[in-house]
A and B are shown apart, each in its own frame.
Chain A
Amino acid sequence: MKISSIVSTLLLGVMVAFSGCGTDADEMVNPETTYSYSVKVTNLTAGQPMSPVLVSSASLFTVGEEASLGLEKLAEGGDNSVLLDANGVSGAGLLVPGASETMSLTVKSQKLNVATMLVKTNDGFAGVDSLDVSSLAVGESQTLYMSVYDAGTEANSETNTTVAAFGVEGFSATRDDVNVVTVHSGIISKDDGLSTSALSALEKFNNPAAMVSVTRTK
């Protein structure tokens, strides 16, 4: 059984080397097979601390669709507790600019999802949705870069009463933005002309904002 699932995994890898999903080969994978991964996340921004990183086999967001309550809490306040379940693992604490953290998880899925708030934004988060790691054999790695998304749940006012980094309650149940997840448009900051912003040029960012290296360990 184990050999056949490895063989089918290799076949799947060949079939979808450039793509996101397999079809027929998926059915050949034993649904009870578990996979272990170590996931290293590096904060590539100049001045944006990142909230405890969530790595999960469950999908966390879809661009163009409404954010879940769990994603809203992560993106507005850095709180990953709603999204964190048996499918996932959380980083130990804030991931400061330039720092890396490695998390390990064992799951039945060959798709991984990552999300972490950029703390000095209203509702910005770096993430990846449904990363296909089915082509990885044990010991192999794959690296990608994460863009910053906007949860679309809070207006990007950049004020010290709405941005979680200033010690206020980041999460607010009110949704006063476009209410779909999109790529973040960046912050303006008071240094770039938004006089009501509590942010400075140090907190500006561009894509990519973080690097993710996935290594399959089992």
Chain B
Amino acid sequence: MKSTLTKLALTSALIMSSSLMALEIDVKITNLTSGINFTPLLVSAHDSSTKLFIAGSTASTNLKAMAEGGDISGLVADLDNINANTISNPVNAEDASKNLLAPGASTVASLTTAAGNDYLSIVAMMLPTNDGFVAMNSVKIPTEVGTYKYVLNAHDAGTEANTELSADIPALANGTGATGLATASEGFVHIHRGNVGDTDSSAGISDINASTQRFLNPVASVIITVK
């Protein structure tokens, strides 16, 4: 199971000494986009050698499941296996009737990190996209008490062609579709190029709405409060 996460050989004395502290942190995540929903968020504190993906490299099977269908269970299991401190779907924890973080909305995940789990990762699928996801990828958690702000970019898992057709995207109603925009996936994780869209939700080159469902970076802000 560990092999599905990418392990890096980082064993400096500095990292080992900083791993001895447990922290209590609040992680506030805001969806900055005007028309993209985030599916259930995964927020996890883990050791310095863990990354959910490496930009430029092939996505793991479990990252692919998250990016294409919003299913974080595989990544959660991976992280549980290495004793990470993980919060799944904080939106649902705050309001049981919700699973999506809507445009402009915020949610807070409160974590107590075990000693050694001093790096933070956040991922969630972006809807509607084929395999787009918002990501913070293994960032060192500050140890001083205070408030720290970050912005996150949209990534593309590279596992599914960006057809933008309703048949390929969970959020869109099933339509007849059309030829679509791309017939092959890119094969590597990268910064998302954005949705193209058009004005027809069931025909043309895309079923995504060009006026309301495009996006630019940054797509999310994160405020970490170290208590």
Q: Interface on A for B, CB 8 Å cutoff?
A: 15-16, 18-21, 63-65, 147-148, 150, 152, 155-158, 177-178, 180-186, 188, 193-194, 206-207
CB <8 Å contact, B104 and A194 = no
Cα-based distance from A178 to B32 in the complex (angstroms): 12
Q: Which of B6-14, B72-80, B212-220 contacts A (4 or more CB under 8 A)?
A: B212-220
Cα-based distance from A157 to B31 in the complex (angstroms): 23
Knowing A155-B211, A194-B199, A194-B210, say if A147 contacts B218 (CB, 8 Å).
Answer: yes
Chain A residue nearest in CB terms to B217 = A207
Type the 1/0 row for B204-227, where 1 means its CB is closer than 8 Å to any CB of A: 000000111111111101010000
Q: CB within 8 A of B104: which of A20, A152, A184, A193? A: A152
CB <8 Å contact, A64 and B106 = yes
Knowing A63-B30, A188-B211, A193-B198, say if A178 contacts B35 (CB, 8 Å).
Answer: yes
Interface of B is mostly: loop
CB <8 Å contact, A178 and B103 = yes
CB <8 Å contact, A64 and B105 = yes
- Ranked 3 nearest A-B pairs via Cβ: A180-B104, A182-B34, A64-B104
CB contacts (< 8 Å) of B196 on chain A: these are: 193
CB contacts (< 8 Å) of B105 on chain A: these are: 64
Cα-based distance from A84 to B196 in the complex (angstroms): 38
Cα-based distance from A150 to B105 in the complex (angstroms): 15
What are some 18 contacts across the A-B interface (CB < 8 A)? A18-B146, A20-B149, A63-B32, A63-B104, A63-B221, A147-B218, A152-B34, A156-B211, A177-B34, A178-B34, A180-B103, A183-B215, A184-B216, A185-B34, A185-B215, A185-B216, A193-B196, A194-B210
Chain A residue nearest in CB terms to B32 = A183
CB contacts (< 8 Å) of A148 on chain B: these are: 216
Separation in Å of the A15 CB from the closest CB of chain B?
Answer: 7
Pair count A-B, CB < 8 A:
84
Chain B residue nearest in CB terms to A182 = B34
Separation in Å of the B197 CB from the closest CB of chain A?
Answer: 8
Cα-based distance from A158 to B142 in the complex (angstroms): 43
Cα-based distance from A64 to B194 in the complex (angstroms): 21
CB <8 Å contact, A185 and B221 = no
Known pairs A21-B147, A156-B211 / 6 extra A-B pairs, C-beta < 8 Å: A20-B223, A64-B105, A182-B104, A183-B219, A186-B194, A194-B199
CB contacts (< 8 Å) of B199 on chain A: these are: 194
CB contacts (< 8 Å) of A157 on chain B: these are: 211
Q: Does B33 contact A (CB under 8 A)?
A: yes
Cα-based distance from A150 to B35 in the complex (angstroms): 11
Type the 1/0 row for B56-76, where 1 means its CB is closer than 8 Å to any CB of A: 000000000000000000000
CB <8 Å contact, A150 and B34 = yes
